[in-house]
Amino acid sequence: MQPTSQVPLNVSLQYLGVKSNQAGSGEANIYLLLVITDGYEQETGRLLPAQGTFSLQGYQTIELNQEVFHTGSRGDSLKVCILAYKQNDPSWRTTILMPALAEIERSLRWGDYPSAKEILSTVDKHMEKATTSFSGGGDQLIGYYENVWGAGGSFGVGQYEGVGSDDLRLWFSIWSKEPPGLPLRPALLPDVSLQDVNIVSTVSTGDKRVDIIRIQNDEPHPISVVLKGTSLLTGEFYNSNIDLPADGFGWLEKEFGNNSPGTDTISYYLYFRGIELDSWSEELAVVPDQRRITLVEWRNSDGSTRNRENAGWDAGNPLY
C-alpha cells in the first residue's frame, strides 16, 4: 500500500477523566492502552504512562497534554483505540497486558487493526492462559474509545471533547501542521437534577410550609450532592449533603416557616464539589395571619383611658 498523502498527521491527548473510578470515595490508579494506526506504515501500541499510573478520583479530570501519535505519510485512514484500566495488581500489567500488547502489535504490522472488543478478547485469552493468581482478580476495564476516519472525514482532524464509553472520558485533538492550544481543564459532572420541587403558593406568617423535593440520579452508581435552599426575605434556610442511590432518586420533605409578610422567592440549588448542577426558583406570597387578633388600648380624645368603672364595662356587660 502506498501513502495517500505526504501531509503529516498527529494525535494529542489533552485531558483524561473518569466518572466512577471503581474505588468508592478514594483515588484509583488508572492507565491507558493506546492502539493507533494511519493505515499505511505507522502504527503504535503503547501504555500511558509507560511506567506507573495516573491517580484519579471519581469525576476528576487531569491534564496530559501529550502527543501520542505522529505520521508524516498517512495511508487511507486513521484508526484510534484507547482503553483505560484501573490497576488492582501491578503484576497483572506485566503478566497479562504486556504479552497481549505484543500480540496486538504483531497484528498491526500485518495490517490487521483490531477493534476494542478484539483487543479485550486478546487480553482475556492471555488471562485464561495465566496460572498466576491476582489479588484483585486482574485489572479492571474503566471504558474505551475507538473511531476510524478516512479521507471523507478529513482523517479525523479536529477536537474531541468528553468522548468514551462507560466511565472513561477523553479530550484530544487530531491535527496536521499546527498543534492546537490547550483548552481550559474541563469539569466532569454527574447527571443529577432537580426533577421536581413542590411548594405552596401562599402561606401565612408564623405558619409552616412543607417543601417536597425530588432529586434524580441518572448515573449507574451512587452520588453525593449538596442541596441548598434560599429565601429572598430570610436568606439561606437549608444546606445539606444528600446521598442518592444509583439510577434512582431521593425524596425530601422539609418544613420551613416565614415570619415576614411580602412576596418571597424560594430557590433550591444542587451542587457537586462546589459546581452548580441544577437550580429551581418560584415566588411565594406570605400574608399576615388573619387569625391573630391584636388588642389596642382605647383612649379618649384628651388622652385619658377608660376603665371598667367609668366605661360601665364588666365581663357580664360589655360595651359595643
- Which helix (H) or strand (E) segment holds residue 286: the answer is strand 275-287
Pairing of strands 54-56, 43-48: unpaired
Q: What is the pLDDT of residue 301?
A: 52
pLDDT digits (tens, 9 = 90+) for 199-236: 999 999 888 899 999 999 999 999 999 999 999 988 99
Which residue, among 194, 186, 202, has the nearest Cα to 226 in the 3D structure?
194
Q: What are phi and psi of 116, to 5 degrees?
A: -60, -40
Task: Please check whether residues 147 and 274 belong to one and the same domain.
Answer: no
Say if 300 falls within a structural domain.
no
Average pLDDT over the chain, rounded to an integer = 86
- What domain count does the chain have? 2
Task: Please check whether residues 206 and 73 belong to one and the same domain.
Answer: no
Q: What angle do CA 243, 248, 254 make, to 5 degrees?
A: 55
Q: Does residue 17 contact residue 61 with C-beta atoms inside 8 Å?
A: yes
Which of 119, 150, 175 is the C-terminal boundary of a domain? 175
Task: Please check whether residues 22 and 153 belong to one and the same domain.
Answer: yes
The helix/strand/coil state of 296 is coil
Tell me how crowded residue 268 is: count the other CB atoms within 10 A of its CB.
Answer: 22
pLDDT digits (tens, 9 = 90+) for 258-306: 888 899 999 999 999 999 999 999 999 999 876 654 545 545 555 555 5
User: Cell numbers 478529513 label which residue?
Assistant: 154
Task: Please check whether residues 102 and 202 belong to one and the same domain.
Answer: no
Show the domain range for 94. 9-175
280: domain CATH number? 2.60.40.10
Say if 186 falls within a structural domain.
no
pLDDT digits (tens, 9 = 90+) for 144-169: 999 999 888 888 999 999 999 999 99
107: domain CATH number? 2.60.40.150
Q: What is the pLDDT of residue 179?
A: 87
Task: Please check whether residues 155 and 228 belong to one and the same domain.
Answer: no
144-148: long-range contacts at Cβ-Cβ below 8 A with a sequence spacing of 24 or more?
Answer: 144/81, 144/82, 144/83, 144/84, 144/116, 144/168, 145/80, 145/81, 145/82, 145/170, 146/79, 146/80, 146/81, 146/82, 146/115, 146/116, 147/79, 147/80, 148/77, 148/78, 148/79, 148/80
Helices 116-129 and 98-109 sit at what angle, rounded to 10 degrees? 130
- DSSP state string for 180-198: PPPPPPPP----EEEEEEE
Task: Please check whether residues 112 and 201 belong to one and the same domain.
Answer: no
Task: Please check whether residues 47 and 123 belong to one and the same domain.
Answer: yes
pTM strictly above 0.85: no
Task: Please check whether residues 171 and 134 belong to one and the same domain.
Answer: yes
193, 267, 275, 280 from 214: Cα distances, Å: 9, 14, 19, 12
Q: Does residue 192 contact residue 271 with C-beta atoms inside 8 Å?
A: no
Task: Please check whether residues 109 and 204 belong to one and the same domain.
Answer: no
Q: Which three cell numbers stand for residue 101?
A: 500488547
